[in-house]
Structure 1
Amino acid sequence: MIFTCEEHIDAAIDEYVDETERAPDLAPVDNDENRCWFCGKRAIYVVGS
């Protein structure tokens, strides 16, 4: 799973597809504790299952 902010959603999807060769599930994050894997801002989405 890759946590991501709005700005890095495309990069997160690309990273997931490169690693798994599958289309990812995309879900909203419902807490303030998770941080974007790319920049450290508050995550809005989680990419992956």
Structure 2
Amino acid sequence: MIKCCEEHVELALDIIVDEYEVAPTIEKIEGNDLSTTCEYCQNTAVYVVSN
């Protein structure tokens, strides 16, 4: 599971596909998790990309 901002969502998708060789799922972060930061920068995470 990778939490990322809009800028890094494509990178997160590529990493999930490379590691797990399956189509990833993308979920928009809502509610209390909006304070979570992107795993690649310090921006606010908007999406959770997982397998």
**Secondary structure of the structure 1 residue equivalent to 2:16:** helix
| Equivalent residue runs for 1:33-44 within 5 Å | 33-44=35-46
C-alpha RMSD over aligned residues:
1.1
**Please, which runs of 5 or more residues in structure 1 have no aligned partner?**
none
User: How many residues matched?
Assistant: 49
The list of structure 1 runs, each at least 4 consecutive aligned residues, that deviate by more than 6 angstroms after superposition, is: none
Greater Rg over alpha carbons, structure: 2
Per-residue deviation at 1:33?
Answer: 2.7
Structure 1 length as normaliser, TM-score? 0.88
Greater share of helix: 2
